[in-house]
C-alpha cells in the first residue's frame, strides 16, 4: 500500500495543495532536464505507457482507500503532461505552452474530456488527463506546423 501511495502521489506531491499543477510542472522540468540525454524518442513513449499502466494500477488500488478519483492521485497529471510533450521540440517555449495548454484542458475539460472520467476505476482517473494531454499535444503540433514558435 505504501508503494502505491508513493507512485500515485508522485513521491508525495499529491498531498500538497495544487498537487496536480505541481506534478505537471515537475514532469515538465524533468522533461527539459533529462530529455537531451535521450536520443531515442521511443523512450518517451515507453515512459508514457509506464505512467499510464502504473496510474491505472494505483488508482484501482487506492480507490477503496481514498475514494473515487482522489485529489491525492497526481500520476494522472504526470501522464497527461508526458502525452502533451510527445514528439514536440525540446525547448522552454514548447514546454511552457504545453504546460499551460494541458492545465487548461485538464481543468476546463472541454470537447467531451469530462466524459472520460466516467470510465470505471483507474481508467476513469487516467483517461481524462490523457485526453487533455492529447488535446494539448495537438495544439502544440499546430503551433509547430505553423511556425508560431
d(CA 116, CA 137): 17
Of 125, 116, 13, 17, the closest CA to residue 67 belongs to 125
- Helix then strand then coil, in percent of the chain rounded to 5, is 75, 0, 25
Structure-derived torsion over alpha carbons of residues 93, 136, 31, 63, reported in degrees to the nearest 10: 150
Would you call 110 helix, strand, or coil by DSSP?
A: coil
What's the per-residue H, E or C state across 41-70? CHHHHHHHHHHHHHHHHHHHHHHHHHCCCC
- Return the pLDDT at 132: 98
d(CA 43, CA 53): 15
Note the pTM of the prediction, 2 decimals. 0.93
- Return the pLDDT at 142: 96
- Return the pLDDT at 1: 81
Q: Please give the distance of CA 16 from its chain centroid, rounded to a whole number.
A: 17
Residue 75: how many other CB atoms lie within 10 Å: 27
- Return the pLDDT at 40: 64
Positions in the chain short of pLDDT 50: none
Could you report the per-residue pLDDT of 16-41, keeping only the tens digit for each? 999 999 999 999 999 998 866 655 67
Amino acid at each position: 500500500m505504501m508503494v502505491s501511495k508513493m507512485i500515485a502521489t508522485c513521491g508525495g506531491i499529491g498531498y500538497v495543495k495544487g498537487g496536480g499543477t505541481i506534478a505537471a510542472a515537475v514532469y515538465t522540468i524533468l522533461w527539459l532536464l533529462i530529455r537531451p540525454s535521450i536520443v531515442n524518442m521511443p523512450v518517451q513513449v515507453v515512459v508514457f505507457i509506464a505512467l499510464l499502466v502504473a496510474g491505472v494500477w494505483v488508482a484501482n488500488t487506492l480507490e477503496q482507500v481514498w475514494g473515487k478519483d482522489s485529489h491525492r492521485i497526481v500520476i494522472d497529471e504526470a501522464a497527461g503532461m508526458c502525452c502533451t510533450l510527445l514528439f514536440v521540440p525540446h525547448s522552454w517555449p514548447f514546454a511552457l505552452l504545453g504546460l499551460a495548454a494541458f492545465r487548461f484542458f485538464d481543468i476546463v475539460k472541454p470537447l467531451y474530456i469530462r466524459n472520460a472520467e466516467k470510465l470505471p476505476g483507474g481508467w476513469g482517473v487516467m483517461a481524462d488527463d490523457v485526453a487533455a494531454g492529447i488535446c494539448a499535444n495537438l495544439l502544440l503540433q499546430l503551433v509547430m506546423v505553423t511556425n508560431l514558435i
